[in-house]
Structure formats: structure tokens, C-alpha cells
Amino acid sequence: MKNKKRNLIIFSTFIILVIGIYLIVPKTKEESNKTKPNVNTNGFLTLMLEQDYGTYKKSSASTWPQDGYVFNETLSRCENGSILAWEDEYRRVVLSTSVSDKCYVYFDKINSEIELNLITKEVTEDNIIIGATLTGDIQMVNQIVFNVAKIGNPSNDDEDLGDFVIPYSNEAEFDISLNNYVEISDSNRYRIRAMLYDDNDQIILQKEIEASTLYYGLCETNTLSCDIISNSDESNGLYYHDDNLAYSAQDRSYRYAGTNPDNYVCFGSDETICPADNLYRIIGVFGPRVKLIKNSDIGSYYYGGVTNDTSGDWETSSLNIDILNGTYLNSLGSFADMIDNSEWYAGKYMFSDEYVNVYNSKEIFSLEYTQERNYNNSILGKVGMLYLNEFGFAADPSNWEKSIQKYDANSNNWLVYSNPELSITPFNIRVPDDFRNYPVSYFFCGNSIMNCLVIDSTPFSVRPTFYLKPNVKLISGDGTNNHPYRIA
């Protein structure tokens, strides 16, 4: 990592200050002899380090923390609205501002013995369900306390809704339904903090997450999800899946359907003309998050990865672990920070062979999502593949009442790909004259959906899909192929 002899400040219509951060990356001898950057440059930056028990203290250190700390994006802030962000590729904080400002940069202390991950599992008009996963020495945890605050608009302060203790008995995974403890209302944004206490009633770890009820539609936030919802409708291919839309998912999502909607996004590149390999398309808006699919594939693979694994288990698949959430994710550089952790419903024996032949998109959705959630069949990760119901709902709505297997060239489906393509949806089949059950993976072939035994010798194209974080903003573009949305 390169050190900077001085802070670089570029004054124009927009000012960008880049400050080098010194962490785990080893230095060369030449680099070590250079002057380390001063944290409190001109007094407008204050470094706040987490202490042993979840509190923060101003640091007088003249250099950034080395190892043992991680940048806290939620708490880091500037008094006049400037934006602080972490660039993991270069291990540095970037400050974007157009005004004179005073900023506070927070770093959390890393507890190497235990980790807590929080994700938004479900949102409705009056509830948010948070999924929590603990790894490491979970025996250290005596109780977990949650705090919920309603995030105010720029003119209002946040409203603290209080703390609550959840029943906990050394569970590695559990869900929290917030409206069981505090009042949750529609069109609001919330900050949820989890605090882990040990037997001495001391905080050993805390994490935060922000989530919104359907729908945080205050468009002064300029989020991508809000702009899509506000500026698109059925006339340009965006359909709201509520109870009034026939044969819809009825999950309050917004999904693109039809021949070729304007739903292109340039992701992974800042070039003026977006490279073809960086074109993605928006499947839809799910709660506060936008879901993308790569417009082109990353190669051909088996469901198990580069070799033909016949287990049909997505959780252990090398396509999941090593390729999509490994090589591919790492290739995105700092853009990977925009991707949210999510639960992928890919139960090993979700379907029977006949389901896809008779079920329409709504019924498939119920199996893929609702039933799998009830059975707690989910795998945590950032990147996955297309679901069957997403393919089905991308066709013109006049097709939704049909079995997906009966889609044809007249279905006007923008998700149809040029090559046979794997889906994330598995099912189980019993082969005639054989008493064993074989795991099977669906794949898409032209306008319809086929199924193929995992033990077949043919790999299929893979297009990554993922959810963007709720705070991703729209910068420019109109969603067309020539002028895709630019985000940050």
C-alpha cells in the first residue's frame, strides 16, 4: 500500500479528499521511511476508536490504527453532510465534500473470538425481521440486547424506541421480529443495534444495521431503489406485486417485465462508456434493496462448480463458495462493498419433478421463498443465481397464469438468455427403474425452463445475481443500454 507524504485536496466544483489508511498490508522498506499521514489534518478530522466494552473514545494518535480495527460506516459522519466511505482495495477512507466540514471517523475494535452478522430478512409496512448469525466462541454470550431507533429526516433528530432483551440459549442463528418488541410503522427507516453481553454484564461485541419498512419513499435520499419506484411504472415495464396485481408474487416487490425494459446498470466500472462486461440489469426492487443480474455470463459451470458434484447442495457447492462468492466477488474490487449479504433459499430437496410442469410463477414463488423460509432452508452469501419465479415474472404479465414450462417465444421475457443457463433452484427426482433420488438443477433454455440431472456431463452458463445495499444512490443515467444507471 502506498503512503502519502501529504493529503491531496483538489478544489473544483467538487472536492475530494483521499486519506491513506495503514492497516494489515505490509510496507516496503522505502515506504516505511516515509512520513505517515496525520489523522487530524487541520483539525477537521477526529478519530474515534472503540474501547473494550462498546464505547468510543477520541484518539490523539497521529497515525491511523494499524490492525485490530475496522471502519464503522454507520457511525462515521460529518457535521455538514459530507460523505465518508471506506475503499477496501486501497485500505483508505475517502471524504467527498463540497463545503467546509468537520468529520468524525469511527473504527470498531475487532473481537477475534466471536463474530455477529445481521441481515434484513423481511420487511412489510409494519414490521422488520432481522436475521442474526453468531460464529466463533458463542459460549461467551450471556444475553443479547437490541436497541431500535427511528432515523429522523434531515430536520429531525432520531427517535430512540428503546432496548429489549431477547431470549438466548447459545443459538448460532435466530430471527428477530421487531414489532414484537417496539412499534414499527410504514415508510420509515430504522437503526437496529445488537449488543452482546458476557457473564460479567460487559459488552463484548456490538453491531448495527439499518432497515426500512415498505416503503421509505422520501426521495430526497436519492437512493436507487427510491428513484426506480418513483420514476417508473407499468408503462415502462415495472410492476408492483401487491394483492391487486393478478397472478403476482404479492410480496410488495417491484419487478421489471416485458421484452426489453430500461433497467440497465453499469456496475464495476467508472469508464465513460460502460464496457459490455460491466452491464447489469435490475430484476426488481425488494423492500429497500435493488437486485441485479449480470447481463452476460462468467462462464459455464456445473451446479457443484468446476467438477460434477452430484450432491446438489448449494451450501457446499464450489460454484457458490469459490467462484461466485470468491473469484467473481473479489474481481469487483471496491464495488463489492455495495453488495448486501442475503439469504438464498436453495433447499436441497425443494421441488418434485412435476411442479415446474404445472405450477405458475406465483406458485413457484411460494415454494421457493415462503415454504423454504418456513423450513429455515437458507444459505447466507452475497452472490447467487436466478430463481425460477424471477424468470417467470420477467415475462409479459399475460403469461403469469401459465405453467412456466409452457412459456414460448411469445412470452416477451427480457430475462431470456442466448445460452442455456443455470438457476439456483434445485429439486429432487426419482429415476425410473432406480430406487434412488437424484438431486436435480433447473436450467433455462431459450424461452422456457428445463431440468437437467446434476450428474449430466454438460455445464451451463452462470450469471451472478445479488442485492445492492439500501443506501446505494443513483448518480446518473436513464437505464437504457447506451446510458445505464450509474450508482455509488
**Which pLDDT tens digit goes with each residue over 108-144?**
776 667 888 888 887 777 888 998 988 888 888 888 9
**Alpha-carbon distances, residue 227 vs 85, 107, 232, 236, 279 (angstroms):** 22, 32, 8, 14, 19
Q: What is the DSSP string of 450-468?
A: EEEETTSS--EE---EEEB
Residue 376's Cβ-side half-sphere holds a number of Cα atoms within 13 Å equal to: 4
Tell me which residue of 461, 465, 464 sits closest to 300, measured CA to CA.
461
Give the per-residue pLDDT at 74.
Answer: 78
Q: What is the mean pLDDT of residues 206-213?
A: 81
Would you state the cell numbers that stand for residue 302, as one nine-digit string? 456445473
Over residues 363-384, the pLDDT tens digits come to: 888 777 765 555 556 788 999 9
What average pLDDT score do residues 220-236 get? 79
**What average pLDDT does this structure show over 6-20?**
34
The boundaries of every CATH 2.60.40.10 domain in the chain are: 114-212
User: What is the number of other CB atoms lying within 10 angstroms of the CB of residue 239?
Assistant: 22
What is residue 232's DSSP assignment?
A: -
When the pLDDT of each residue in the chain is averaged and rounded to a whole number, the result is 77
Tell me which of 18-27, 188-197, 375-384 is least confident.
18-27
pLDDT tens, residue by residue, 268-305: 999 999 999 999 999 999 888 899 999 999 999 988 88
Angstrom CA distances, 443 to 211, 237, 388, stand at 33, 25, 9
Alpha carbon distance 115, 118 (integer Å): 10
Instruction: Provide the grid cell at 471.
Output: 443506501
- CB neighbours of 200 closer than 8 A, spacing ≥ 6? none
pLDDT at residue 402, as a whole number: 87
Q: Region 332-354: what's the mean pLDDT?
A: 78
Which of the two residues, 366 and 5, has the higher pLDDT score? 366
Q: How far apart, in whole angstroms, are the C-alpha atoms of residue 429 and residue 451?
A: 10
pLDDT at res. 278? 98
- Specify the CATH number for 114-212; select among 2.60.40.10, 3.30.450.20, 3.40.190.10, 3.40.50.720: 2.60.40.10
Specify the pTM: 0.61
pLDDT at 462: 94
- Segment holding 32, helix H or strand E: helix 29-32
The predicted structure's pLDDT at residue 46: 87
Residues 6+ apart with CB under 8 A from 392: 360, 361, 364, 365, 399, 400, 404, 407
Position 19 pLDDT exceeds 70: no
Q: What is the pLDDT of residue 135?
A: 86
Mean predicted confidence (pLDDT) in 333-347: 90
Residue 177 has pLDDT above 60, yes or no: yes
Least confident span in 21-30, 298-307, 325-334: 21-30
pLDDT score recorded for residue 77: 87
pLDDT at residue 455 tops 90: no
The predicted pLDDT at position 304 comes to: 84
Higher-confidence residue of 475 and 354: namely 475
Per-residue pLDDT at 463 exceeds 90: yes
How far, in Å, CA of 231 to CA of 407, rounded?
A: 30
Percent of the chain topping pLDDT 70: 74
pLDDT band for position 394 (50/70/90)? very high
pLDDT of res. 39: 53
